[in-house]
Structure 1
Amino acid sequence: MHISVSSTALGLSAIFVALAAALPGSSAHLDKRYTEQRNGISYNVFEHAGTGAKLSFVNNSGICETTSGVNQYSGYISVGSDMNMFFWFFEARENPTTAPLAAWFNGGPGCSSMIGLFQENGPCQFYNGSSTPSLNPYSFNNFANMLYIDQPVGVGFSYGNDTVDSTVSAAPQVWALLQSFYAQFPQYESRDFGIFSESYGGHYGPEFASYIQQQNADISASNTSGEHINLVAVGINNGWFDSKMQYKAYIDYSANNSYNQILSPSQYSKYMNTYESDCAPAVDDCYSSGSGDSCSSAQDTCSLYIEEAIIQSGDFDPYDVRQPSDDPYPPSQYSSYLADKSVQDAIGAQSQYQECPNDAYQKFSKTGDNTRSFLATLSDVVQSGVTVLVWAGDADWICNYMGVLAVANSVSFDGSDDFKAKELQPYTVNGKETGKYKTVNNLTYLQVYAAGHEVPYYQPETALQVFIQTMQKKGISST
């Protein structure tokens, strides 16, 4: 059931009444809606009787999105006992009552999605060294209603009991958050939904999509309760999907990229020998055994002898090889902005901002999650018919385009042979070539020129066009 409401047109109490009426099988006396003060912040609270979830949020904070008439909500959704996951939602700037819904997840593992919001594709960015943000004309919410999620708990502004130690254990909490979001905002139920992510999103994207599909099947079979999520698109830029292919790509890219020759021919041979003798066998052991110890050991081996060794061998930023190692890019003024108490209060934050806390990363490392391949899961998602885009900025080293292309060429689906054999062709935006790509059926690969790890920061116009085309459930095409 759909209901379109605007907090600028209706009082908050009227919104709550309308939403209560829209919830299938619910009545006002079962769900609870009230306001509460917490540490000086006034929250609108929704307790969903069906799931026991609690959603506490502030509306229209005036932070970041200042376009007239565009609503925003930020705050917390409980995904378990003392598990408070921070979200920030922005309506679409155009046609919000009919626009699709998309969720953005940054990687890490254990990095905040505020990175994507403020540095990449959100409604505002920090331009020309400014300490305050300005509107981003290429924001993804130009087209879609956007939901930015800090996960797992303990990352960004999320706080509380963190039980997540792997991609697989993260997925149910993300699904629970989405279910709570739909319960509070049922007008977004049945809208087309997309997952967009980067970096460790090569793990997150396929697994979150697969878990949603599994839950949808269980809901259809009456094996579980919840809202069916109409997943139509998955987009992952500079993703970490498969260790065996992508550790090798570190060596290939370091010797053969067009920006910065990091390895000489003799160094290339040395590292390739190390890869074959130490890294690849360790990864194979992880893949065959699946044990946490073997996968964690493989990560240690490949990181020490390949990843860290190459990084330390040259003066370059692994997220943009055109930059020196002591000048990471893009600039990070946004983190200082989010440390401001007045900003935190305005958006309903209850904890100090942590961009990429080490605790979350270490939990994933101990289970060897980094080494595990999500290629098979990605293949299943593609085979299911969801529109999938894997893309990469070609100045990024850490999840470089050579490795991402190797992964794309290895996806198993009905069009696999045609995809692998197909040549790349120019991709243009308003007649300007900004990359090269190929599409077969519902799978697309795109290499973006002159872009580092955070592609939308470097090529915002290209990123927005690619996002829109993918959310429209079609392969990308030049304009």
Structure 2
Amino acid sequence: MSLTWPVIALTAPTTQSNKRYSFKRNGISYHGFEHTATGSKLQFVSNSGICETTPGVNQHSGYISVGKDIKMWFWFFEARQNPSTAPLAAWFGGGPGTASALIHGPCKFEGNSSRTTPINNTFSLNNYANMLYIDQPIGAGFSYGNVSINSTVNAAPFVWKFIQAFYSSFPKYKSRDFGIFTESYGGHFGPQFAKHILDQNEANTGEPINLVALGINNGWFDAAVQIPSYVTFSYINTYRPLIQRKQYDALMGAAMTTCVPALEQCSISGTDADCVNANTTCYTLIEDPIYQSVYFNSYDVREGFDEAGPLNSQNDRYLKSPEVMAKLGAQIPFESFSVDVFYNFSATGDIQRSFLSTLSEVVSAGVTTLIWSGDADWKCNWFGNLDVADLIQYPGQYEFTNKALMPYTIKGKEAGTYKSQKNLSFLRVYDAGHAVHWYQPELALQVFMQTMKMEPVQST
């Protein structure tokens, strides 16, 4: 495949020590840190008063340089409980090109309310863990720089270097259990970022990262497995049929005779041209005819349901406010979704490349892994996510694949179905669209905690 690989390496040790300093910009106080070993620089503000308002809970936001003139944005929230011993987890938006902010952090907007500032999120993930929200690839969110990242493999070294620099500036988190959580295109990002970390640990490169957990909701892992599920879900989902039996037969026939073979050719040759061709072929034969057959929200098929929350314009307006940007230390306007990043990935056929084998390596390495899905989402639906989970090759695969789904309850109320075997769990979440955390925040916090504790998901 003709992908551009970034050159990211640790520089040779020097006798110089790391440097900490403070400065002011536009009346805002900044902390600075220069890390000798990686050549990374951090510039951030502390306790801005934006989003996290819980007394005594610290936050930091700003940039870490991960290359010359390449600035990756982070927003860190200390755990609300036991921050000195709580684990560390990172959240990555999907896309590719989606920002990470304000999906399930310490604050939230509620639907179409007229509020101009967010309210406290009772079920924020930092109730349990120290949380890092990272905007990547460069161009997403507040991140910016002179590099054009065009693939998942290309993006992973930048994330690893980011964590190295973060550890150097905040060394008390080095020894903590570390988890990666993501959604949607995170079905690519999560497995590859996790594998890159494991590979660097094995090579004794940099500071070891104690990766213990990987959680991916409504993920896009493998097009050849998941595109046929578009047809299945459209015909038999719980909420509303999108196609009739005659359409189902025609579309499934096209999927198996033309779309899937094109995707298999992408996997065999690995060329950009074959993978881009597979994307065009499958969209033309499968996705577009379904879109044309009936109006529906691909992220939540429930008719008349208001999905303003996860994607609402309130987030954008708030984070683009000059006052908020200044307090956070942001240097460019916020981009909730970068079209440029998306097209960079599309041009290399990255969207149609499979990360199922990479995911299998991560699960086989013993990382506690949760694959979970809101069952009203069409785009990365639960049928396809279950098919992917059943195909993960690891020591418990046979038992996992042959297990039936069981009711999953929270406080005794059924909220989904699940199955677990060894370190792999699958969970279907009722009454939730693409951004599960927004629809079912209490359940999301429960399964997040269970996964970070290296436990299988289990009812309460």
Report the TM-score range of the alignment, normalised by the length of the smaller protein. Answer: over 0.9
- Residue pairs, 1:215-230, within 5 angstroms: 215-219=200-204, 224=205, 226-230=206-210
Q: How high is the TM-score relative to the length of structure 2? A: 0.94
Amino acid at match of 1:166: S
Distance across 1 between alignment mates of 2:352 and 2:33: 39
1:278 Cα deviation (Å)? 2.1
| Residues 428/303 of structure 1: CA separation in 2 closer, same or farther (3 Å cut) | same
Amino acid at match of 2:173: Y
Name the structure 2 match of 1:96: 83
- Residue pairs, 1:35-434, within 5 angstroms: 35-38=22-25, 41-114=28-101, 118=102, 120-127=103-110, 129=113, 130-219=115-204, 224=205, 226-323=206-303, 330=310, 331-434=312-415
Q: Deviations over 1:23-66 (max 9, x none)?
A: xx999x62111123445543211001111100000000000000
Q: Secondary structure at the match of 1:205?
A: helix
Distance across 2 between alignment mates of 1:62 and 1:40: 15
Name the structure 2 match of 1:441: 422
Distance across 2 between alignment mates of 1:394 and 1:40: 47
Q: How high is the TM-score relative to the length of structure 1? A: 0.90
1:34 and 2:16 aligned: no
Q: Secondary structure at the match of 1:239?
A: coil
CA contact (8 A) 2:177 2:212 kept: yes
1:164 Cα deviation (Å)? 1.2
CA contact (8 A) 1:317 1:325 kept: no
| Residues 38/82 of structure 1: CA separation in 2 closer, same or farther (3 Å cut) | farther
Q: Which runs of 5+ in 1 are unaligned?
A: 1-24
Distance across 2 between alignment mates of 1:327 and 1:408: 27
Amino acid at match of 2:457: I
Q: Deviations over 1:324-360 (max 9, x none)?
A: 5997654331111111100000000000111111110
Distance across 2 between alignment mates of 1:456 and 1:137: 12
Distance across 2 between alignment mates of 1:329 and 1:341: 23
CA contact (8 A) 2:273 2:349 kept: yes
Q: Deviations over 1:431-453 (max 9, x none)?
A: 11101100000000000000000
Q: Deviations over 1:103-150 (max 9, x none)?
A: 000100111111xxx2x3110011251221011000000000000000
Distance across 1 between alignment mates of 2:296 and 2:219: 20
Distance across 2 between alignment mates of 1:77 and 1:175: 12
Q: Which runs of 5+ in 2 are unaligned?
A: 1-12
Distance across 2 between alignment mates of 1:42 and 1:62: 13
Choose 48-57 or 156-165, whichever is displaced more: 156-165
Number of corresponding residues: 445
Q: Secondary structure at the match of 1:68?
A: coil
1:276 Cα deviation (Å)? 2.2
Distance across 1 between alignment mates of 2:14 and 2:184: 40
